[in-house]
Every structure is written in C-alpha cells, then in structure tokens.
Chain A
Amino acid sequence: MIRTVWSALWSQWRRNPLQLFTLMAGLALATALWSGVQAINAEARASYDVAAATLGEGQFAQILPSEGGAIAQETYVKLRRAGWLVSPVVEGRLAGVRVVGLDPLTAPGGLGPVRFAQGADIIPFLSGRGQVFGGAEALDALKGQTEADLILSPDVAPGTVLTDIGVAQRLLDMPGQITRLIVARTQPLGRPDLATVAPGLTLRPPQGGSDIGRLTDSFHLNLTAFGLLSFAVGIFIVNGAIGLAFEQRRPMVRTLRALGMPLGQLMGLIAVELVGLALLAGIVGVALGYLIAAALLPDVSATLRGLYGAEVSGTLHLRPVWWLSGLAISVGGTLAAGAGAMWSLWTMPLLSSAQPRAWAMRSGQAAAVQGALAVGLLAVALGLALTGDGLVAGFALLACLLIGAALLLPIVLRLVLAGAERLAKGPLAQWFWADTRQQVPGLSLALMALLLAMAANVGVSTMVSSFRLTFVGFLDQRLSSELYVTTDSAEQAAALVAWVTPRVDAVLPIQSSQITLAGRPTDLYGARDQATYRDNWKFLDAAADPWDQVAAGAGILVNEQLARRSSLSIGQTVDVAGQSFVIVGVYGDYGNPIGQAIITETVFHDLFPQITAQRFGLRLPPADVPALTRALTDDFGLPAANIINQAGIKAFSLGVFDRTFTVTTALNILTLSVAGFAILMSLLTLAGMRVPQLAPVWALGLTRAELGRLELVRAVLLAILTAVCAIPLGLGLAWVLLAIVNVAAFGWRLPMYLFPWDYARLVLFALVAAGLAALWPARRLARTPPTDLLKVFANER
C-alpha cells in the first residue's frame, strides 16, 4: 500500500517536472538568501572584531606589560596553557608605517578586513616569505624593506599594515617578543589569576571608544530582518507550487482513500515527502548561500574556516549551526507553506467533485475574504504603530504590515486596472486592461513576492543609507579631534599634557564618572569649554546656546537613550551628586547602551575632585598628524596602541559600510531575481490557460507578434504597478525598523533619510526582472503555430 502511495505521489511530480522544479528552486533560493545573510552577518562581525583589535580600541580587553617594554613569548605560552584565551600582537613602526602582526589562528575574527587578492592563499601567509596586507601608501613605504609579498588590501586602516606575527617579528626585529595580548570575550571558567600566571602584566578592560561593535549590532538586527524577508519571498513561491500541486492531487487522494488508505497515514506520508524535499532543497540552499557569502565576502576568515574547518578556534561551533539553521528554516518554511494545502486535503469531503479547481480562478467570495483580512491586518498594524511599544510589538507590526499589504495588492491592482479600462480609448487598449485584470489572480502570488522583495529592498536600502549618513555624521561629531591618546597613569597623563600642549592647537581631556542620573546608570563627562564641541555637535533637541549654558555651570546635556528611558526633556532639572542642573540639550549617541551626560569641566572637577583625565583628544592640523604620532611613540614613548587616529577609524567605518553596500546591492539583485523567477514560473504555469483567452483576439485581426509584445508589456506594467505600491511599503518597513524596532532594541532612534535615486534604480531592476521573466513566455506565444490557436475553436480536438 505504502509503495503504491509513494509511486502515486512521485508520478505527479514526474508528470509536472516544472512544478517540482519551481518548488525545489524556490525553496533552495529562499534558504540560500537566508543563510547567505547569516554568513554575511557573521563575517562582518568578525571584521569589526579584528578591526577593533588592530586599532587597539573597542570591545576587547588587552593585556599589557605594567612597566612598558615587551611580553616574552614564554609568558604568552604560559597564559595559553593556564587556560587564558589570548592572542598575541606584535606592533611597531617601520619606515613610518604601523606594522601589526597577528596570529590568524587565535585572533578573534581571524584577519577580518584583509581579503585575499586573486591567486593568493593562506599557505604563504602562514609560512615562508609571508604576506603583508595594507593600503597602497603603506605598502609603497615598505617597498624594499621586506621580501614578504605586499598585498593590496584597501580595508586595512590607513598607515597600517597587517601581517602574520612571525613576519612582523622579523620585520620589526623583535624575535620572541609580543607587544600586547588580545583577550577573547568569553574565557573559560576557573582559570588562574593573571597575577599568578604572569606577574608584571596588567589587564586593561575593554574601552567604550566609538562602539563600532555595538552600533553595528543594530545594523545586524536589521540585516537579519532582511534575511527573513528574503526568505518570505521565496516561501511565497513555495506556497504557490505546493498549492498548485495539492490541487492537482485531490483526485488521487480521493482514489487512494476510496481504496482504503487511512487519511492520517496518507497525510503522514505527504508530510514525510515534503520534509524530504525540503531537506534536499535546504542542502542545496545552504551550499548556495555559502557560495553567495563567499562570493560577496571573499576574505581571509572565510578562507580560514574553509581550510581549517573545526580546527580554527572561535569558529568551532559556527558551521554546524549554520547548516542546521539553514535546514531548519527550509523545513519549517515548507511546512508553513504547505500547511494550508494539507489542511484543505485533510478536510476535503470524500464525495465532493473530483475536479481540480483552477487555482488561478478564485471566487469573488475568496477575494472578499482576502480583502477583509488585508484591511484588518493593516488596521492592526496602524494600531501597533500608534500605540505599540517594545520589540515584540515592533515585529508584530512588521508582520501585519507586510502580510496585509501583500494580501491587499491584488485587490488594489484590479481596482487600478478597472479604472484604466474605463479611461481607455481604443478597443485594443480596453481589451488590454481588461485582460490584464483577468491575469491578476493567476499572477498574484508572484506579484506579492515581487512586492515583498521590492519593499525589503527599499526598506533595507533606506536603512543602510540612513545608517551610513547618521553614523558618519556621528563620527564627525564624536571623533572631532585628530588624535586620541590614552595614558596608563595619572603621572603619565600629566607628563603627556605638559609635553604635547606646545605641539598642538588644543588638548581636550576626556574624563568621566559613573553615576546614577534620573535613576539610571550614566557616564557623566566633564567637557572643556572649547570651540571643537560648539562647532561639531548636533542636537536632537536643545535650548538656545546650549554650550554657553553648560559653560556657565548650571546646564547639562543628556544623550537620547537617557532622555527616552527617563522621559527627560529640555528645561527639566536633574540632580548630580547633590547639585541640580537644567537640561539644555539632548544629543544622539548611537551605539551606546547606557545613559550619558555632559557638564562643564570646572564643575565636574568640583564634584569629582579625585578623577583626573587619562585620555585626551588632540586638535592639530591634519597634515601634522603623522609627525606627531611618530613623535609620541618615538620621543615621548607612548605605545602605538595608545594612539588612535580618527581618520583611521573613519576610513575603516566607511570601508565597512561600502562593503556592506556591495553586499546589500547584491542581495537586492538576488531577491529581485527570486521574485523574477516566481513571475517566470507563474507565467509558464498560466501559459496553457492563455491560449483560449488570446485566440479570439488573434482571429479578429491581431498578429501573434503583437500579442507577444503585449504579453511582455503586461508583465512589465504589472511590475511597475507593484513597484509603485512597494515603495511606500518599503518606506513603512524602514520606518518600523528605524523608529520602532531599533528604539525598542537599543534605546535610540536612527533618523530616516530618503534616497529617491536608489528607489528609481530599484524600480528599474524590478522592471528588468519582470521583463526578463516575461520574455520567454512572450516569445513562445509569438511563435505559437496558427493551428494551435485554431484548435481552441474546434469541438472535436
């Protein structure tokens, strides 16, 4: 019996290979997009990690010699043996270039920002002559200094080169020496104290810095949302394919049941069949996703992982998770997409008509239900947008908005097309509009997929671009000093101020204290009254002349997170260490998880006399930066890791964004291709139904070529209409991501900017996708032999 069922199920696919192909391809593409996004997220995170490590700031704790000098290699080995997950870094200057040597096998994130140029591979990096990665200028400066291969890698911070630790030790003539150790974020429990294993070393906790990592968390959350959306687009295709297949299965199911097959067992077998197909497509999809990610981010860490697999520390658990989540989402998506079809098979009465219903011709009643559902969902979305709060509400809003809009799309399209038909002048135009309207139900799943794909693209482009604008503006404001230097003690700080003051335009001390403000943990900063702040800071909301009021002593500035969470606004009074201040400004502080406030330096010193600044911003002409950096290390003796060049951070973050742009553009094109594929499959499925609809028009005096052209125009036109609907939907999506999800998740709101040219380009992409999808069916139609068209009118055939 079971074998009969299997062969019956399989024979359906054999008779409809196109359906099977649509199902598998849709599922594989959906899974590929999802896992590709996941991989890109993981890779991007690794890049930030290594950047943070090489820039010597950010999220990683570091171990440094207490007295200056170097760490011996044996000390490093001792620490590793004792269980400390640390990675050695050798750092120094050669010909004016900062040389950073890393151990790619233990460094967090491998060598993230470095990509292998064509023809290069990991072996020479690890052994032999070695490879040195850097920007063009840095590599030029090193020419003739080393016999290692110089590899152009624009992602490395300016003035810096990255290389393997062994190569760096040779280059810098520091055999067996280590400058500092990067401490991985998670450490094994029960490892001995640093002081017991390696006296003479100090652990420096991670520094707030520019919070690239935390800021980008928000970005990754949004990118993940995009991945889910891409997946949803694919699931629309799968849903269509399964729905059609199950419609055609009705008679067979009836026959099998009449033969005595229990319904439960039959459904079980169908479920097993679906899961099997989903697993198969999922494997293809995950592999495809890996290829996508590898093509988009061909950097060292991916290669490392590929080469070493489970051996590379920190990535040990990554790959199985990746595979499993890809397969899980493929199976889950298939079951979700198939649930409706399974349900209608389950509830199908044994004796009703065995005629498969034409899936394209849904009844008017179904359309009314769909419309009501759409309006209901959109109403819920509106309600959530007005009153909702929190992450769950944000995602519920997203779901209601997208599903509601997708369900509404066919109804809107039919209304628009009916209007166009009424306005049409000639008979052909009238027929064209009427006929297009008739095609909407059959194409609606594909058009919904296109709508979601485009909305996701508009939303993500808006989000990424807004993010970039905000982030760059924010960095300009926050990193307005040319150099940032950190000292290790109050004495060193005093010496540095004395040494550096005559050499720069201004020294801006960075000093803060952890306090509780309006009931929340807050970093309170004391800022010097200086033009740098007045010129560069932008406020979300401010009283008149905020910096004057701060300088006068009674004014305080708070960050957005604090203002939102504690409902603070301009003019309100807050208490700091027993003294009250008036809020005179609220500023954006992207990426910071906790509250922050600023008062003037003099008052800060009165309130917290024990705190002295150990970090400083230095203002100087940008042209003098390299010379001063050299003098700081060579003459004053500050370790290079204690000096941050803001231009480097900015260039790096722009690099990260530009790479992200490449990735999102590629994903945009991929998602649109998936939607285009859905359109193609729908058109091919509908092609059989088209001939009877077109034959009368042909007989009345149109050529087949004209009909083919009109088919193409029709597809493009539907794509245009869908695109027009997708833009507001995409902007809504971006708004929800930026203004609701982000605020709920991180406490700050990203401003939203509009990018009309990007949208225009997306519409163009969508038209190209739809046009390409329609090209083949249209050509086929234009070449239909007249006898095939004439068969429509003959009774006997």
Chain B
Amino acid sequence: MLLTVTDLRKSYPAGDNPVTVLNGVDLTLDAGQSLALTGESGSGKSTLLHLIGGLDLPDSGAIVLNGADIAGLDDKGRAAVRRGTVGVVFQQFNLIPSLRVADNIAFHARLAGRHDPAWAARLADRMGLTAHLAKFPEQLSGGQQQRVALARTLAARPQLVLADEPTGNLDEATAATVMDLMLELVAETGAALLIVTHSDRVAARLDRRIHLARGRVT
C-alpha cells in the first residue's frame, strides 16, 4: 500500500468554535492506482489533499506514505516529502514566475535529484510546449501554464501525483485536452494519482472514486 490515511481530523479556527472540516477520514491507495476525489465545494477536498501532500498539518490521525507517517513530521521532514515523494498540481499559480518555462519544468526534478533532460524534453514535446521553453510563465495562456505545471510534476517522477481541480480554471475544450494528457502520461510513469474533480467523465476513467461529505469519506 502506497498511502494509508486513518481517522484524519482537521479543523480551522474561526471565531470561538473552530470549524471541523475533516472528521475522521480513512482512505487507501495502491502504487500505480488512480483515485477520483469528489465532493461539494467546501467539503474539504483541498484540505485533504494538502494534508496528504505534506503541505499542512492535521489535528490528529495518521497519513502513512511509503510506510512512514508524515503526520508527525516537522517542517523539514514534510519539505522532504514534497520534494521527493509527491508532486502536486494546483488549480492555478503553480509556476515560479522568475524562471523560464524550461527551468520551471526541470526545477522539481533537479531539486529531487532525478533530472533526466531527455525525459523532460519528451514531456515538453508531448505537452506541446517546445516552442515556449524560453518564455516566462506570465507570457503563457492558462492552459499552457497548467501543462507546464503538469510537465514539471511528471519530470520529477514522483510516486504519488496529487491534482486539485487542475483544469478548473480552463475552458471546457482546453480542460479536456489537458486532462487527457495528464491521465495518459501519469499512467505511463506508473505513479499513483489522486485527482480532485467535479467531472463524472474524468472520475469514470479512474480506477476508484470516493466522495467527501460532512468531513468523512462516503
């Protein structure tokens, strides 16, 4: 088992009584498996993704990734998880504004010590970014930016790819192309995939599907 989440709880402070967002979430994911995470807006999908990605700390519960519980790690340990084990694609503003596209694509892989120029070039080619490698992120369209973010994540060959509505900001046609590319390439690298999505069409193409409501998986 690549990922086992047990009884995960998280609340945010809001005035006198904190808002409980996750109230005992359990889930598992095998290596290479893909999972769709659905739920209404505000149901805590992003929160769950952030906790699994080592971006934030839960109040309680365990997140065992690769046999180690990352819920108990300090800042440094969680940074190492982000660097080496997972790759996250957010809805927007994924890219480092001061770096060119080519350097953005290579950044995560180089940080993780897994940079393979040939693989990065192939990803850029498959994403249709070859002509844009010397540009800065602000010179790209939203769809192009999301493809760069995807290429960057895949170039680093993480064991687990987390994607939080990666096409949520794109128009329908662009969203479909980006999503197709994503599913195809993730399958090619053999990484496990957890996507937050609203789309039944996308969810149907994945191995499993879970729904988040009232702080629990249903």
Chain A complexes with chain B? yes
Report the separation of the CA atoms of residues A792 and B94 in the bound assembly, to the nearest whole angstrom.
9
Q: Specify which chain A residues have a CB less than 8 angstroms from the CB of B112 in the assembled complex.
A: 701
A700 touches B83 (CB 8 A): yes
Q: Specify which chain B residues have a CB less than 8 angstroms from the CB of A793 in the assembled complex.
A: 90-94, 164
Residue of B nearest to A361 (CB): B138
Report the separation of the CA atoms of residues A435 and B99 in the bound assembly, to the nearest whole angstrom.
8
- The contact string, 1 if C-beta is below 8 Å from chain B, for chain A 700-733, is 1111111000000000000000000000000000
A434 touches B107 (CB 8 A): no
Residue of B nearest to A437 (CB): B98
Report the separation of the CA atoms of residues A360 and B97 in the bound assembly, to the nearest whole angstrom.
14
Report the separation of the CA atoms of residues A427 and B108 in the bound assembly, to the nearest whole angstrom.
8
A434 touches B91 (CB 8 A): no
B55 touches A790 (CB 8 A): yes
Q: Specify which chain A residues have a CB less than 8 angstroms from the CB of B110 in the assembled complex.
A: 426-427
Interface size class of B (residues with CB under 8 A): 35 or more
B46 touches A701 (CB 8 A): no
**Residue of A435, A701, A706, A796 with highest tally of chain B CB at under 10 A:** A701
Residue of A431, A789, A794, A795 near B96 (CB, 8 A) is A431
Asked whether B26 is an interface residue with its Cβ less than 8 Å from the other chain, the reply is no
Q: Specify which chain A residues have a CB less than 8 angstroms from the CB of B103 in the assembled complex.
A: 427, 430-431, 434
Residue of B53, B56, B95, B106 near A427 (CB, 8 A) is B106
Q: Specify which chain A residues have a CB less than 8 angstroms from the CB of B82 in the assembled complex.
A: 699-701
Q: In the complex where A427-B106, A786-B56, A796-B41 touch, is A696 in contact with B79 (Cβ < 8 A)?
A: no
Asked whether A157 is an interface residue with its Cβ less than 8 Å from the other chain, the reply is no
Asked whether B27 is an interface residue with its Cβ less than 8 Å from the other chain, the reply is no
Residue of A695, A700, A787, A794 near B107 (CB, 8 A) is A700
Q: Specify which chain B residues have a CB less than 8 angstroms from the CB of A434 in the assembled complex.
A: 98-99, 103
Residue of B nearest to A436 (CB): B98
Main secondary structure of the interface of A (DSSP, over half): helix
Asked whether B61 is an interface residue with its Cβ less than 8 Å from the other chain, the reply is no
Smallest CB separation, A596 vs chain B (Å): 64
A427 touches B111 (CB 8 A): yes
Asked whether A465 is an interface residue with its Cβ less than 8 Å from the other chain, the reply is no
Chain B stretch 122-153: residues in CB contact (< 8 A) with chain A: none
Q: In the complex where A792-B93, A793-B91 touch, is A703 in contact with B98 (Cβ < 8 A)?
A: no
Q: In the complex where A696-B93, A795-B91, A795-B168 touch, is A703 in contact with B84 (Cβ < 8 A)?
A: no
Residues of A within 8 A of B (CB): 426-428, 430-431, 434-435, 437-438, 692-693, 695-697, 699-706, 786-787, 789-790, 792-796
Report, nearest first, the 9 A-B pairs whose CB atoms are least far apart.
Answer: A701-B83, A793-B90, A427-B110, A434-B98, A438-B98, A701-B82, A435-B98, A703-B79, A703-B75
- Apart from A787-B12, A794-B91, list 20 A-B contacts with CB within 8 A: A430-B99, A430-B103, A431-B107, A693-B97, A693-B98, A699-B53, A699-B55, A699-B88, A700-B83, A701-B79, A701-B80, A701-B112, A705-B75, A786-B50, A786-B55, A786-B57, A787-B56, A790-B56, A793-B94, A795-B91
Could you jot down 25 A-B contacts, CB within 8 Å? A427-B106, A427-B107, A430-B103, A431-B98, A431-B103, A431-B107, A435-B98, A438-B98, A699-B88, A699-B90, A700-B107, A700-B108, A701-B80, A701-B82, A701-B83, A701-B84, A705-B75, A786-B50, A787-B56, A789-B55, A790-B55, A793-B91, A793-B92, A794-B90, A795-B168
